Structure 1
Amino acid sequence: MPVMHFLIRWPDGVEANCYSPSTVVSEFFAAGQRYAVDDFVARSREALHIGSERVREKYGFACSAALDQLARIEDDARRFHDAHEAQVTVLALD
């Protein structure tokens, strides 16, 4: 399966290189776009679950790396729970 990474910048300026087991993430994000933190998490959740299911269909098991990545995104997003205007920037998709 084609792996895809997406580089993001959290509202506090911290950058993270995120992993997806599938190119499906490109259907949810665009480089240069900003997303409200809650929207970013919801999009990540859907994209990474789809990617994990694609791995399951092909190999017979879910992609634990995608689920680990989602857990990191959800954990990092908690820092901005009270920052309602905070946005995540998608810097690159590759």
Structure 2
Amino acid sequence: MPEMHFVVTWPDGRQETCYSPSLVVKEFLDEGASYPVSDFLDRSRKALTIASERVEAKYGYPCSLARGQLARIVATGAPFLADTEARVRCETFLP
């Protein structure tokens, strides 16, 4: 199963490299695009849930790394949810 990493910039300027066990993230995020925090969290939740389900379909168990990444994304994004102007930028996809 092809895994990938993607780099995001949070509203405070911090960059983070995130992990997905599947390329499905490319269906939910566009390289160079920025998203309101709540939208980014929703897109990440959908993408990483599908990615984990694909791992489960292939190997018989969900992907704990995808679940952990989603938890980190949600925790990092939560403080910015009150700011309707805050955005998360998807910088790039890495192999």
Gaps of 5+ in 2: none
CA separation in 2, counterparts of 1:36 and 1:6? 17
What TM-score do the two structures reach when normalised by structure 1? 0.98
Counterpart of 1:49, as a letter, is: T
Root-mean-square deviation (CA, aligned residues, Å) is 0.6
Gaps of 5+ in 1: none
How many residues are paired up?
94
Counterpart of 2:24, as a letter, is: V
4+ runs deviating over 6 angstroms: none
Alignment correspondent of 2:13: 13
CA separation in 2, counterparts of 1:57 and 1:86? 36
What TM-score do the two structures reach when normalised by structure 2? 0.97
The reply to whether residue 57 of structure 1 matches residue 66 of structure 2 is no
CA separation in 1, counterparts of 2:59 and 2:21? 12
CA separation in 1, counterparts of 2:74 and 2:23? 20
State the Cα deviation string for residues 19-55 of structure 1 (Å, max 9, x = none): 0000000000111000000000000000000000000
Counterpart of 1:40, as a letter, is: F
Task: Provide the secondary structure at the position in 2 that maps to 1:18.
Answer: strand
1:39-78 correspondence to structure 2 within 5 Å? 39-78=39-78
Percent of counterpart pairs with the same letter? 51
State the Cα deviation string for residues 39-74 of structure 1 (Å, max 9, x = none): 000000000000000000000000000000000000
Counterpart of 1:48, as a letter, is: L
1:29-44 correspondence to structure 2 within 5 Å? 29-44=29-44
